[in-house]
Chains A and B, each alone.
Chain A
């Protein structure tokens, strides 16, 4: 019954990390190799997991389940499982962790054992978030990731590391404790209804929560997740944390840790509280759009390359949130793909920036320039990942960005009895972010790569000695780091179907759960066609005698006639309709 792959995925890096901290070799390089071995082994196992998953057939169910008691009196269990939503994120986590550890080889020289131990512990904890099927366990991992991250930023960070680490911890914790309250409250609400204590997410989905309570709960979940994402007014910790964190820390922070927030929305807040999410959607969307525009403008004026990438993260995650709150299939799956794509391209951008920093010990635009001449390989990768981040057709960013915008645009089109909360206005406003991202990204490439060559000398002696050891352009290890990500960028760009095929059933299940369980019918019906009040939620065989129904059907049909965009959707997904079916 129990499948041990998922617990191994969590425990292997964690136990490996503790062992390295206690017994590992103290030479930085050897500690790194030990950590790399543990991390790579985990990655290999996490690749085996989807093979097993595929062997069982792609469906919406959780597979590779594992269950044993955690806190028996309160019926919280260590319940792990993997579905189409968790799978890509677990793969991303482990891939980026391996790359992050590998990239630290030259950058981390002091207290190496603790560093690699924390990286491995972080890797295990992040995987734990994505595979938890128990709400309490989800929160345990969600919050625990803060500990290694705090220490990574605080000990190995830049000049302002103390402030950055404090801000990171306190912001996230302040939001997180409210989420904790919501977790306990939801379980208790379920208990009051069914007299059965449980923290199983699947069972909690069935809880009937009145709209007023839902709104409070949504606000509590929102507090924790929105800080983590980070959504517009809660984002101020992120640029600082990114700038001060060591390269590997930034890669994992942008690549995976921010996704914990969006994943929390997708897995918990939306399906558990669809009514409140629906009602809050316009507000969330506005925050997301403001975040997109604001962060893009902020990125434009940065003088530090890393800070620019950090702000671009805020903008990208705005798109991610927007797609989710469109409440349709395209939006959810586009948003999930956005998480993966952002992890790949932003993670890669941070790696490239880290490589520049290791050589010149500066990230200031004013001091860098014309590096394409000195480092052509680096220039290739930087341009590639920048284009992916902008969303150039043919690369991965385009697919997700387009899906999200398309989903937001068509959100208000009736879908059975359901009309999504967003609409074309939101999509048009958000699309300005696409233009802005092209501006700041290309501007960054232009400043750093082209123009007159500017190579600042490293001021500190020790740092200069380290930098002198590195080859002028990227070494074998460095382009080895970037190549797998580059391959993914192209692969997901030209053939996203392999991804959609994997995630669609699970996404569909969540989407159905969201749309069917909107517990606030007035909201929908006032925006819906009037007589739809007594229509069953499943499309009933239309009765020709019932003129009203026929009329509605015809209008619904008229509304859902294929648009030019549907054609593109079919190309992406191989599916006829962007809707629920």
Chain B
């Protein structure tokens, strides 16, 4: 039980804080309005408490590599998962800072004519969404994975709708919700195939299962998973909603959308691909190559379409939305290094998503400070003259944009470098494929310069000044400064973060721990009679055979699961 608590403590802290905040928003108007000033600080306190819970409760308590497995095997927290928590909470705190604008309506939630409505609910929903990420970080089980990904997404639908009074926001929210529901269905469908094939929802057992490797349906399952999570990360055919939703939502919410669901989507995809996906990719199924090629094609299409569509945008939110699609394409390339370079893949994902998240957040935060005719400033032209009016903000924006371009000495460059190096490690496809993918990515990086430069040009080169009101309250400015400094710092000394991510490579998924735990795991799965029935139905007794072997007929089985899953993740 204590294991559960330990693994879930950051999530529970966040949920507790969120519940308090939701309760406050249920109180009467007067109380609510007077208390809602405290909401950002409460949210920040909740995030800090969660960070402390993760750091002292888990990170400090277990020096070195560790595997914290919950008794029923559904949760497995490794140092990688812990870093997902750290990075998620940190960016969450930046988000709260960026949203903490005392001039805005969250203290006067009734005002219908205000441009942006960030009420107490916003912060509560943000924490719940982050709680989903905390759960995902420890997920090792399809059900937990599905739950976590949906927990991340559901609050975002509400946030989009509530963030602005305009009909546009409601339209965006609705669109986002329906497509989100569709993607959840696809994800669940894919998971159901995985379960049907292997008779287990546990990722390690799925990965070790011979049924997965011998059956082409496994490929179908993973393609469905890819489609479901592709919605979260805004990958090619599932990217259609992005521009409308980002435009419809208030700038801080768009910043959140650009980071949280993506982070969850990529980490979820990594969890599936590094276990079941890797098993499949190394298997002799002829379709395995198809899966690898599919990811490559999706990556290339995603970045190309994102960049090409961004070129034509005048609306900054839409531009950043399309650029976020392009960045998803780059990150997808990191998956090509699976299964042999799974450590590099996760390092590249974590670093890139973090660098990207911080830079995008900085850009959206600056946008959220600008107001034009009682509405948010959205056009690139609204930035004209920013450098003369607010040189600090303009410099912050320029740093963030240069990071998105991938200029050296910013975090974005290191991220790109890492992703491209990871791509070259790929052994799945021929060298010609890999080099083609790399070239497409490089050309895309050059194309992207075209639209990013227009933003910098509006701030610095164009003469005149746009008729916008620019606020500079303390907290968002602090958030922007933090984002800019972090971007430069990680560009000059990436080791500050990479040094910690490198310890993931030393992670030993300690064979013994897993062996002992795996024993419990197999007992649990065997002990469930209802599941037996399902298995014999769907997988024609294969897994029944599995549990018989685990029961003692084949003593090598207990060690077979961990070693094979180890081989797959650590080759």
Asked whether B523 is an interface residue with its Cβ less than 8 Å from the other chain, the reply is no
**B400 to A: closest C-beta gap in Å:** 13
| A71-B498 in contact (CB<8A) | yes
| A73-B445 in contact (CB<8A) | no
| B424-A184 in contact (CB<8A) | yes
Asked whether B402 is an interface residue with its Cβ less than 8 Å from the other chain, the reply is yes
Known: A74-B418, A169-B453. A181 touches B462 (CB 8 A): no
**B116 to A: closest C-beta gap in Å:** 31
Give the residues from 410 to 426 in chain B that come closer than 8 angstroms, CB to CB, to chain A: 413-414, 417-418, 420-421, 424-425
Contacting residue for A185 out of B388, B413, B424, CB 8 A? B424
**B225 to A: closest C-beta gap in Å:** 28
Give the residues from 52 to 102 in chain A that come closer than 8 angstroms, CB to CB, to chain B: 69-74
Bound Cα distance from A188 to B341, whole angstroms: 14
| A71-B462 in contact (CB<8A) | no
Asked whether B505 is an interface residue with its Cβ less than 8 Å from the other chain, the reply is yes
**A68 to B: closest C-beta gap in Å:** 9
**B282 to A: closest C-beta gap in Å:** 20
Contacts of A178 in B (CB 8 A): 439, 442
- Interface residues of B, dominant DSSP: helix
Bound Cα distance from A218 to B542, whole angstroms: 55
Known: A161-B461, A162-B461, A184-B417. A147 touches B407 (CB 8 A): yes
- Closest-by-CB residue of A relative to B344 is A73
| B409-A144 in contact (CB<8A) | yes
Asked whether B31 is an interface residue with its Cβ less than 8 Å from the other chain, the reply is no
Instruction: Spot the interface stretch: A133-141, A327-335, A396-404, A437-445.
Output: A133-141
| B495-A143 in contact (CB<8A) | no
| B424-A177 in contact (CB<8A) | no
Contacts of A162 in B (CB 8 A): 457, 461-462
Give the residues from 454 to 474 in chain B that come closer than 8 angstroms, CB to CB, to chain A: 456-457, 460-462
| B417-A144 in contact (CB<8A) | no
Bound Cα distance from A165 to B461, whole angstroms: 9
Bound Cα distance from A177 to B402, whole angstroms: 14
Output the residue of A71, A162, A165 with the most chain B CB within 10 A.
A71
| B457-A144 in contact (CB<8A) | no
Bound Cα distance from A70 to B495, whole angstroms: 6
| A155-B495 in contact (CB<8A) | no
Give the residues from 132 to 180 in chain A that come closer than 8 angstroms, CB to CB, to chain B: 136, 139-144, 146-147, 150-151, 154-155, 161-162, 165-166, 169-170, 173-174, 176-178, 180
Asked whether A114 is an interface residue with its Cβ less than 8 Å from the other chain, the reply is yes
| A151-B438 in contact (CB<8A) | no
Output the residue of B405, B425, B442 with the most chain A CB within 10 A.
B442
**B100 to A: closest C-beta gap in Å:** 24
Contacts of B450 in A (CB 8 A): 170
Bound Cα distance from A166 to B451, whole angstroms: 11
| A173-B442 in contact (CB<8A) | no
Bound Cα distance from A535 to B357, whole angstroms: 60
Contacting residue for B417 out of A21, A71, A72, A170, CB 8 A? A71
Contacts of B413 in A (CB 8 A): 140
- Closest-by-CB residue of B relative to A173 is B449
Contacts of B461 in A (CB 8 A): 154-155, 161-162, 165
Contacts of A187 in B (CB 8 A): 421
Asked whether B494 is an interface residue with its Cβ less than 8 Å from the other chain, the reply is yes
Bound Cα distance from A178 to B439, whole angstroms: 7
Contacting residue for B505 out of A73, A144, A166, A170, CB 8 A? A73
Asked whether B113 is an interface residue with its Cβ less than 8 Å from the other chain, the reply is no
Question: In which size bucket is the chain B interface?
Answer: 35 or more
Contacts of B388 in A (CB 8 A): 111
Count, A-B residue pairs, CB within 8 A: 95
Bound Cα distance from A142 to B409, whole angstroms: 11
**A6 to B: closest C-beta gap in Å:** 16
Contacts of A143 in B (CB 8 A): 407-408
**A170 to B: closest C-beta gap in Å:** 6
Give the residues from 264 to 286 in chain A that come closer than 8 angstroms, CB to CB, to chain B: none
Bound Cα distance from A570 to B445, whole angstroms: 50
Output the residue of A74, A142, A154 with the most chain B CB within 10 A.
A74
Contacting residue for B445 out of A69, A140, A146, A177, CB 8 A? A177
Bound Cα distance from A193 to B138, whole angstroms: 38
Contacts of B453 in A (CB 8 A): 150, 166, 169-170
Asked whether B111 is an interface residue with its Cβ less than 8 Å from the other chain, the reply is no
Give the residues from 175 to 220 in chain A that come closer than 8 angstroms, CB to CB, to chain B: 176-178, 180-181, 184-185, 187-188, 216
Question: In which size bucket is the chain A interface?
Answer: 35 or more
Interface string of B343-386 (1 = CB under 8 A from A): 01001000000000000000000000000000000000000000
- Closest-by-CB residue of A relative to B441 is A181
Bound Cα distance from A187 to B421, whole angstroms: 9
Interface string of B424-457 (1 = CB under 8 A from A): 1100000000010011001101100110010011
| B409-A140 in contact (CB<8A) | yes
Bound Cα distance from A174 to B442, whole angstroms: 9
Bound Cα distance from A173 to B449, whole angstroms: 8
**B499 to A: closest C-beta gap in Å:** 7
| A173-B420 in contact (CB<8A) | no
| B421-A74 in contact (CB<8A) | yes
**B265 to A: closest C-beta gap in Å:** 24
Asked whether B537 is an interface residue with its Cβ less than 8 Å from the other chain, the reply is no
Contacting residue for B407 out of A114, A136, A146, CB 8 A? A146
Asked whether B237 is an interface residue with its Cβ less than 8 Å from the other chain, the reply is no
| B420-A147 in contact (CB<8A) | no
Contacting residue for B457 out of A72, A154, A173, A181, CB 8 A? A154
Asked whether B391 is an interface residue with its Cβ less than 8 Å from the other chain, the reply is yes
Known: A162-B457, A166-B457, A173-B449. A140 touches B408 (CB 8 A): yes
| A180-B442 in contact (CB<8A) | yes
Asked whether B3 is an interface residue with its Cβ less than 8 Å from the other chain, the reply is no
Known: A140-B413, A178-B442. A72 touches B502 (CB 8 A): yes
| B502-A73 in contact (CB<8A) | yes
Contacts of A72 in B (CB 8 A): 495, 498-499, 502
**B458 to A: closest C-beta gap in Å:** 10
| B438-A144 in contact (CB<8A) | no
Known: A71-B495, A72-B499, A143-B407. A169 touches B449 (CB 8 A): yes
**A62 to B: closest C-beta gap in Å:** 22
**A165 to B: closest C-beta gap in Å:** 6
| A71-B414 in contact (CB<8A) | yes
Contacts of A21 in B (CB 8 A): 395
Contacts of B407 in A (CB 8 A): 143-144, 146-147
Bound Cα distance from A141 to B347, whole angstroms: 24
Contacts of A146 in B (CB 8 A): 407
**B270 to A: closest C-beta gap in Å:** 17
Contacts of A181 in B (CB 8 A): 420, 438-439, 442
| B460-A151 in contact (CB<8A) | yes
**B384 to A: closest C-beta gap in Å:** 12
| A170-B494 in contact (CB<8A) | no
Bound Cα distance from A140 to B493, whole angstroms: 12
| A114-B502 in contact (CB<8A) | no
| A173-B446 in contact (CB<8A) | yes
Bound Cα distance from A83 to B201, whole angstroms: 61
Would you list 22 pairs from A and B whose C-beta atoms are within 8 A, ordered by A residue? A69-B495, A70-B494, A71-B417, A73-B344, A74-B417, A74-B421, A140-B409, A141-B408, A143-B407, A143-B408, A155-B460, A162-B462, A166-B457, A170-B450, A177-B446, A178-B442, A180-B417, A180-B445, A181-B420, A185-B424, A185-B435, A188-B424
Interface residues in chain B, defined as those with a beta carbon under 8 Å from any beta carbon in chain A: 344, 347, 388, 391, 395, 402, 405, 407-409, 413-414, 417-418, 420-421, 424-425, 435, 438-439, 442-443, 445-446, 449-450, 453, 456-457, 460-462, 494-495, 498-499, 501-502, 505
Q: Pick the 4 closest A-B CB pairs, nearest first.
A: A140-B408, A188-B424, A154-B461, A174-B446
Q: A170-B446, A170-B450 are in contact. List 12 more A-B contacts (CB 8 A).
A: A21-B395, A69-B495, A71-B414, A72-B502, A73-B347, A139-B408, A140-B409, A165-B457, A180-B420, A180-B442, A184-B424, A188-B424
